[in-house]
Structure formats: structure tokens, C-alpha cells
């Protein structure tokens, strides 16, 4: 291979986004991926002869993907069939009550009025506006921009930057702020759960994360064939633009000389030359030396104590009865503080887990249930200790009992059959995503500084760029895709300036 190529290590969302943009600008790109397929965490599993999403299921921030496809000179509609959900999620408590949130905020307010009274509905509209204001303050200068410092962020925000920065409420916890917005503890719990979208605890994450509530309210889509189709479509398009994919190929070391990166050494010993490298691995892998000594010091430390959430998941095909599941349903635990204490303080599986279910054969409105067994992903949050503790079958069995009995108390019976059920634990996630302990979102967003601690795209080693959920602007599919675009833009700018 010519050393004019750019190498992308990892075909996760950020790696795919970077490869596609670079190839669309005429750069020769090779993606090296240790798995057999593209997507990384956006993976699917085969259970009972049917394919089920085993990673992300909630598709938000559609504009990010519209831009990705537009960069490549095409339209997302020509590659993926997206449908907006009318009801974004159904929420249930075993103490009583069921609440739907709608794509239309006014309908959500009406539903909250019926659920918790007119005063809470009014307070919800105030919360909705506050979440939107935070999102709008941060979209251009933080989410779309390169990694800022607190000072440069205030500058980027423009007039009254410091005051507007104060209004994003970085110094309050999300839980504390929600106590000011809602009196019904169930609503506080529901909106606090958005912290888990960045792998964090609502009791430790800043109130700024209420912007995630706005992101979801702004639209959730389903992807025909499952979320994994998003990765498959990006990989197909990248290939059509000339990207070479080498699957089941592991990078063992990044090679560097005095000028900067020179290529990689594969686990097979083969060396591949490159003039630039985009690493889509969790930055913890660099810090732990998994890609060699030359790059170990380039990533900030990623201490195990600050890891984001992992998960225990059940991918299953089963009959369900008694509860009208929607595409996204959440069943809340009775002890929310206890759940996060168990995970982040005690490093164990919660005895009272909140359970999220993606029912892949259902839509975002009530309709007849799918005939026969349906495809489900059930997920509970778990500590990211997969590198130091392998959860025993009895620990997993106990968590399963707690989770499925909560579902039963909420009215949902699932005909669980071990033959058509695949469990993924933090240890499995750690094997798939090395150096993470199974953490799925990089470092947790705990405290106001956390978002500024994620590394940016450029590193001190010329030619090495970082992308993915553990770097700026953050975790989740759209944010990882944005980091891939940022990395590609830096590579393009640096290649252009080298040529000049
Ligand atoms: C169960 C689950 C549920 C989730 N739910 C949501 C959701 O609903 N919505 C949402 O937006 N996000 C969700 N997320 C988070 C989201 O999936 C991730 O933030 C995002 O996909 C991360 O993308 P990434 O670019 O960081 O790459 P990753 O997905 O981390 O991919 C990195 C790639 O690098 C490869 N790799 C690693 N080491 C090497 C090596 N040495 N050589 C070559 N290749 C290597 C890996 O095999 C992998 O393919 C969820 C994640 C999981 C697991």
C-alpha cells in the first residue's frame, strides 16, 4: 500500500464517518477493523434465526446523518428508510402509572397533565424550554465545534458568553435541578434517566445534560431493518467511494518516526504504511499501551473509577403478554439513588434495576402486537468492571430475576427461553471494546469539568487523530459521528497545508 493513504483504525460510527468524508474528498483510505463487520457498538446478534440490534436503538439528531450523506454527495433517503416515532417512549412504574412522551411537546404536556396534574404539565413546559435553551447555547460552539476550553467556550458563545455559560447550569447536578422543575418523583426519575444516555448518573452529572431531553424531544426515528443498517449503509457508501475495508484484522501497534506517524503493525506482524491515522478506539486503549509505546502518553489517563456505564443485556425472541410495549419502553426501579450507588459506588449489579426494552417489531404507536414471538433487547445499567470482575452465572441470574420480576409487577410477562436468549455482560463488552472494562460511553460525564476532559481530535504526534465516543464532543451515535467528521476535517486541513 502506498504511504499516501490515510488509515482508520476501527469501523465504529466515528471511523465510518471519517472514512466516508475523507474518501468523498478524494483521499485514499483504508479502514482496519478487528470484527467481521462494520458498526462497532452498533452491532446485531442472531437469535433464534433472527437478527436483533444489540447496541444502540434510539436514533436521534437526524441532521448529523443528513450531513454525513450530503458530504458524500447523496441523500440519506436513498440509503436508509427512516420513520419518525409518534410516541418516543412509554414509561411505567410498579407503584402505579404509565406515561408516554410524544414527539409533539404539547401532547407530552397533556399526557403529563393526566398523569400528574395540570401544575406538573405547566412545569414540564418550563423544563422543556430550559432544556432547549441549553441545547441551543451549546450546539454551535460545543457540539459542532472542535474541543473548547471553558474560556474559549465562553468566547465562542458570543455576547454575554460568561452569563450564558452560567445558564447551562454546569455546577448543579441534574438530579438537583430536576427537583426544582418537578414535584412528582416519577417525573424527576424519568428526566433524570437522560444522564444514562451519556453513561452517567443523574446524581453526579451536571444539569447541563438536560439538553439530552431536548435532543430526544426533537425527534426519534426507527431505521428499517434495525439500527445496524446505519453502519452497513455508511460502509457500503464508503466502499463505493473507494475505501478499502480490512475486516478481522487487528492493529497491534501504531508506528512513528521523527516526522510523526508512519503506519501500523498488525497482529499478524504485517506493517502497513500511512501518512495519517485516525484511531476510533476508546482512548483508554492508547493510554493502556494497547497500540504501543509510541502513543501511550498521547491520550489522557482514563481511570477505571471514572468510567461510564456498562450494561447487562438480553437479546431474545419471545412471546410477550399483558403490557402494550412500544418500540421503546422503560420500567423504573423503586430505588433510583440505590441503583446508581450500587453501580458507581459499590461496583455491583443493582438489586433494583431500571429496565429498558427495545421491541424491534413494534412502532411508536399502539397497534396490534406482532404475531408470535417478537424480537427484544432488554437492558439494565451495570458497572464497567468487566476487566477486573467476571459476573458469575448466579450474579447474572439474580439480576435477571430482579429485572424480570419488575417487568411482571408492571404487567409484562415475557416467555423467556434460554435457547432464544443471548446475554451480553460487561466482560463481553470489555472483550469487544478493549481497555474499557465494558464502559460504553468513554468516561462518565460527572462534574462540570468532565466534558472538557475528553481529548480533542488532534494529538501531539503529527498525523495521529482521535475519534469516537470517548473523545469530544461525546458519546452516543450522533456525537461519535460528529467526532469522525471533525477528525476527517482536521486530516484534510493538515494534508492541504503540508501540500502547500
Ligand atoms: C447496548 C448499547 C446501547 C446503546 N444505546 C445507544 C442509543 O440508543 N443511542 C445512541 O446514540 N448511542 C447508544 N449507545 C452508544 C453508541 O453505540 C456508541 O456511543 C457509539 O456507537 C460509539 O461509536 P465509536 O465511534 O466510539 O466506535 P465503537 O463502536 O466503539 O467502535 C470501535 C471499533 O474499533 C474496533 N477496534 C478496537 N480495537 C481495534 C484494533 N486494535 N484494531 C482494529 N479495530 C479495533 C472495534 O472492533 C470497533 O468496531 C449504545 C451502546 C451500547 C453498547
Kindly state whether residues 160 and 187 are assigned to the same domain: yes
φ and ψ of 316, to 5 deg = -145, 160
Q: Could you tell me the CA-to-CA distances from 459 to 85, 288, 295, 474, 494 in Å, in that order? A: 40, 16, 9, 17, 13
- Within a domain: 189: yes
User: How many whole angstroms from 336 Cα to the centroid of ligand 1?
Assistant: 27
Other beta carbons within 10 angstroms of residue 161's beta carbon come to 17
The rounded distance, in Å, linking the Cα atoms of 46 and 31 is 25
Q: Estimate the crossing angle of helix 118-138 against helix 174-181, to 10 degrees.
A: 140
- Our answer on whether the CB atom of 11 is closer than 6 Å to any ligand 1 atom is yes
Task: Read off the pLDDT of residues 355-411 as tens digits, 9 standing for 90 and up.
Answer: 999 999 999 999 999 999 999 999 999 999 999 999 999 999 999 999 999 999 999
Residue closest by Cα to atom 19 of ligand 1? 476
Would you say residue 472 has pLDDT above 90?
yes
* Domain coverage including residue 464: 6-80+228-301+448-499
- Our answer on whether the CB atom of 138 is closer than 6 Å to any ligand 1 atom is no
Residue 252 CA, closest ligand 1 atom number: 41
Kindly state whether residues 57 and 76 are assigned to the same domain: yes
DSSP state of 54: -
Would you say residue 1 has pLDDT above 70?
no
Q: Which of 255, 235, 237, 256 is nearest to 247 (CA)?
A: 235
Task: Read off the pLDDT of residues 445-462 as tens digits, 9 standing for 90 and up.
Answer: 999 989 899 999 999 999
Q: What is the mean pLDDT of residues 19-42?
A: 98
Kindly state whether residues 213 and 233 are assigned to the same domain: no
Kindly state whether residues 160 and 186 are assigned to the same domain: yes
Kindly state whether residues 130 and 52 are assigned to the same domain: no
Would you say residue 429 has pLDDT above 90?
yes
**377 three-class SS:** strand
Given the DSSP bridges, would you call strands 98-102 and 87-93 parallel, antiparallel or unpaired?
antiparallel
The strand pairing partners of 374, in sequence order, are 318
User: How many whole angstroms from 379 Cα to the centroid of ligand 1?
Assistant: 16
Kindly state whether residues 214 and 143 are assigned to the same domain: yes
Would you say residue 167 has pLDDT above 90?
no
Kindly state whether residues 285 and 243 are assigned to the same domain: yes
pLDDT given for residue 61 in this prediction: 98
The rounded distance, in Å, linking the Cα atoms of 489 and 453 is 21
**358 three-class SS:** strand
Q: Which of 204, 144, 236, 276 is nearest to 444 (CA)?
A: 204
- Our answer on whether the CB atom of 311 is closer than 6 Å to any ligand 1 atom is yes
- Within a domain: 102: no
User: How many whole angstroms from 343 Cα to the centroid of ligand 1?
Assistant: 21
- Our answer on whether the CB atom of 476 is closer than 6 Å to any ligand 1 atom is yes
- Our answer on whether the CB atom of 434 is closer than 6 Å to any ligand 1 atom is yes
The strand pairing partners of 194, in sequence order, are none
Q: Tell me the percentage of the chain whose pLDDT exceeds 70.
A: 99
- Our answer on whether the CB atom of 256 is closer than 6 Å to any ligand 1 atom is no
Burial 116-145 (b: 16+ CB within 10 A, else e): beeebbebbeebbebbbbbbebbbebbbeb
Q: Tell me the percentage of the chain whose pLDDT exceeds 90.
A: 89
Q: Which of 460, 432, 464, 145 is nearest to 279 (CA)?
A: 464
Q: Which residues, 6 or more positions from 6, have their beta carbon under 8 angstroms from its beta carbon? A: 22, 27, 28, 29, 30, 274, 275, 276, 277, 278, 491
Cα of 59 vs its chain's centroid, Å? 10
User: How many whole angstroms from 93 Cα to the centroid of ligand 1?
Assistant: 30
Residue in 41, 329, 423 to alter for ligand 1 test, most ligand atoms within 8 A of Cβ: 41
Query: pTM of the entire structure?
Result: 0.97
**Per-position DSSP letters for 75-91, written without gaps between them:** -GGGT--EEE-SEEEEE
Q: What is the mean pLDDT of residues 417-429?
A: 97
Q: Estimate the crossing angle of helix 174-181 against helix 185-192, to 10 degrees.
A: 140
Q: Which of 10, 18, 8 is nearest to 484 (CA)?
A: 18
- Within a domain: 467: yes
pLDDT given for residue 201 in this prediction: 98
pLDDT given for residue 160 in this prediction: 80
Which stretch of 144-148, 187-191, 334-338, 380-384 has the lowest confidence by average pLDDT?
A: 144-148
Q: Which of 449, 430, 431, 441 is nearest to 471 (CA)?
A: 441
User: How many whole angstroms from 436 Cα to the centroid of ligand 1?
Assistant: 11
For residue 462, give the C-alpha cell: 503529527
**Per-position DSSP letters for 362-414, written without gaps between them:** --SS--PPPSSSEEEEEEEEE-S-TTT----HHHHHHHHHHHHHHHHHTT-EE
- Within a domain: 69: yes
Other beta carbons within 10 angstroms of residue 497's beta carbon come to 8
Kindly state whether residues 259 and 206 are assigned to the same domain: no
- Our answer on whether the CB atom of 475 is closer than 6 Å to any ligand 1 atom is yes
For residue 311, give the C-alpha cell: 450494561
- Within a domain: 137: yes
Specify the length of the chain in residues.
500
Residue in 55, 60, 229, 384 to alter for ligand 1 test, most ligand atoms within 8 A of Cβ: 55
Residue closest by Cα to atom 27 of ligand 1? 12
- Our answer on whether the CB atom of 40 is closer than 6 Å to any ligand 1 atom is yes
Residue in 8, 12, 265 to alter for ligand 1 test, most ligand atoms within 8 A of Cβ: 12
- The burial of 196, by beta-carbon neighbours within 10 Å (0-12 exposed, 13-18 middle, 19 or more buried), is given as buried
Given the DSSP bridges, would you call strands 310-318 and 421-424 parallel, antiparallel or unpaired?
antiparallel
The rounded distance, in Å, linking the Cα atoms of 302 and 391 is 22
Domain boundary among 218, 243, 259: 218
- Our answer on whether the CB atom of 42 is closer than 6 Å to any ligand 1 atom is yes
Residue closest by Cα to atom 6 of ligand 1? 56
- Our answer on whether the CB atom of 350 is closer than 6 Å to any ligand 1 atom is no
- Our answer on whether the CB atom of 384 is closer than 6 Å to any ligand 1 atom is no
The strand pairing partners of 310, in sequence order, are 382
The answer to whether 476 and 441 are in contact (CB under 8 A) is yes
Q: Helical H runs in 158-210?
A: 161-166, 174-181, 185-192
Domain boundary among 183, 218, 253: 218
The answer to whether 412 and 325 are in contact (CB under 8 A) is yes
Kindly state whether residues 139 and 212 are assigned to the same domain: yes
User: How many whole angstroms from 281 Cα to the centroid of ligand 1?
Assistant: 9
- Within a domain: 352: no
Task: Read off the pLDDT of residues 244-260 as tens digits, 9 standing for 90 and up.
Answer: 999 999 999 999 998 99
Identify the residue with better confidence: 182 or 294: 182
The rounded distance, in Å, linking the Cα atoms of 117 and 110 is 9
Residue closest by Cα to atom 5 of ligand 1? 56
**Percent helix, strand and coil across the chain, each to the nearest 5:** 40, 20, 40
- Our answer on whether the CB atom of 237 is closer than 6 Å to any ligand 1 atom is no
Q: What is the mean pLDDT of residues 104-128?
A: 98
Q: Domain count of the chain? A: 2
Domain boundary among 218, 237, 266: 218
Residue closest by Cα to atom 2 of ligand 1? 55
- Our answer on whether the CB atom of 230 is closer than 6 Å to any ligand 1 atom is no
User: How many whole angstroms from 37 Cα to the centroid of ligand 1?
Assistant: 12
- Our answer on whether the CB atom of 199 is closer than 6 Å to any ligand 1 atom is no
Helices then strands (H, E): number in the chain?
16, 21
Would you say residue 70 has pLDDT above 90?
yes
φ and ψ of 382, to 5 deg = -150, 160
Residue 481 CA, closest ligand 1 atom number: 25
Q: What is the mean pLDDT of residues 186-207?
A: 98
Amino acid at each position: 500500500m502506498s504511504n499516501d493513504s490515510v488509515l482508520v483504525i476501527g469501523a465504529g460510527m466515528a471511523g465510518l464517518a471519517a472514512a466516508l468524508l475523507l474518501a468523498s474528498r478524494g483521499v485514499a483510505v483504508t479502514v482496519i477493523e478487528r470484527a467481521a463487520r462494520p458498526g462497532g457498538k452498533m452491532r446485531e446478534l442472531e437469535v433464534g434465526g433472527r437478527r436483533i440490534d444489540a447496541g444502540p436503538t434510539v436514533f436521534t439528531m437526524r441532521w448529523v446523518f443528513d450531513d454525513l450523506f450530503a458530504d458524500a454527495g447523496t441523500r440519506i433517503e436513498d440509503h436508509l428508510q427512516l420513520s419518525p416515532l409518534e410516541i418516543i417512549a412509554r414509561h411505567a412504574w410498579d407503584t402505579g402509572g404509565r406515561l408516554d412522551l410524544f414527539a409533539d411537546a404539547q401532547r407530552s404536556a397533556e399526557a403529563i397533565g393526566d398523569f400528574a396534574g395540570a401544575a406538573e404539565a405547566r412545569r414540564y413546559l418550563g423544563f422543556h424550554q430550559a432544556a432547549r435553551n441549553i441545547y441551543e447555547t451549546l450546539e454551535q460552539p460545543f457540539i459542532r465545534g472542535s474541543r473548547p476550553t471553558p474560556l474559549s467556550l465562553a468566547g465562542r458563545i458570543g455576547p454575554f458568553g460568561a452569563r450564558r455559560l452560567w445558564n447551562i447550569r454546569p455546577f448543579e447536578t441534574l438530579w438537583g435541578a430536576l427537583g426544582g422543575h418537578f414535584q412528582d418523583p416519577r417525573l424527576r426519575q424519568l428526566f433524570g434517566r437522560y444522564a444514562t444516555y451519556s453513561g452517567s448518573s443523574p446524581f453526579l452529572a451536571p444539569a447541563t445534560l438536560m439538553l439530552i431531553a431536548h435532543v430526544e424531544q426533537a425527534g426519534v426515528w426507527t431505521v428499517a431493518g434495525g439500527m445496524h443498517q446505519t453502519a452497513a449503509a455508511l460502509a457500503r457508501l464508503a466502499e463505493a467511494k473507494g475505501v478499502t475495508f480490512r475486516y478481522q484484522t487487528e492493529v497491534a501497534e501504531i508506528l512513528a518516526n521523527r516526522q510523526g506517524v508512519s503506519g501500523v503493525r498488525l497482529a499478524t506482524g504485517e506493517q502497513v504504511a500511512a501518512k495519517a491515522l485516525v484511531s476510533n478506539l476508546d482512548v483508554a486503549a492508547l493510554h493502556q499501551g494497547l497500540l504501543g509505546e509510541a502513543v501511550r502518553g498521547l491520550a489522557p489517563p482514563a481511570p477505571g473509577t471514572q468510567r461510564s456505564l456498562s450494561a447487562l443485556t438480553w437479546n431474545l425472541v419471545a412471546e410477550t403478554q399483558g403490557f402494550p410495549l412500544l418500540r421503546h419502553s422503560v420500567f423504573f426501579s423503586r430505588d433510583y439513588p440505590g441503583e446508581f450507588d450500587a453501580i458507581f459506588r459499590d461496583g455491583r449489579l443493582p438489586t433494583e434495576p431500571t429496565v429498558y426494552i427495545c421491541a424491534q417489531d413494534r412502532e411508536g404507536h399502539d397497534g396490534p402486537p406482532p404475531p408470535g414471538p417478537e424480537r427484544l433487547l432488554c437492558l439494565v445499567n451495570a458497572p464497567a468492571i468487566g476487566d477486573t470482575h467476571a459476573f458469575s452465572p448466579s450474579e447474572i441470574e439474580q439480576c435477571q430475576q430482579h429485572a424480570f420480576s419488575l417487568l411482571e409487577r408492571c404487567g409484562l410477562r415475557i416467555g423467556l427461553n434460554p435457547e432464544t436468549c443471548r446475554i451480553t455482560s460487561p466482560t463481553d463488552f470489555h472483550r469487544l471494546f478493549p481497555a474499557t472494562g465494558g464502559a460504553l460511553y468513554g468516561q462518565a460525564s460527572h462534574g462540570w469539568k468532565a466534558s472538557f476532559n475528553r481529548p480533542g481530535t488532534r494529538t501531539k504526534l503529527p498525523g495521529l487523530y482521535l475519534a469516537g465516543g470517548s473523545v469530544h464532543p461525546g458519546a452516543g451515535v450522533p456525537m461519535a459521528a460528529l467526532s469522525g467528521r471533525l477528525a476527517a476535517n482536521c486530516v484534510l486541513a493538515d494534508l492541504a497545508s503540508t501540500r502547500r
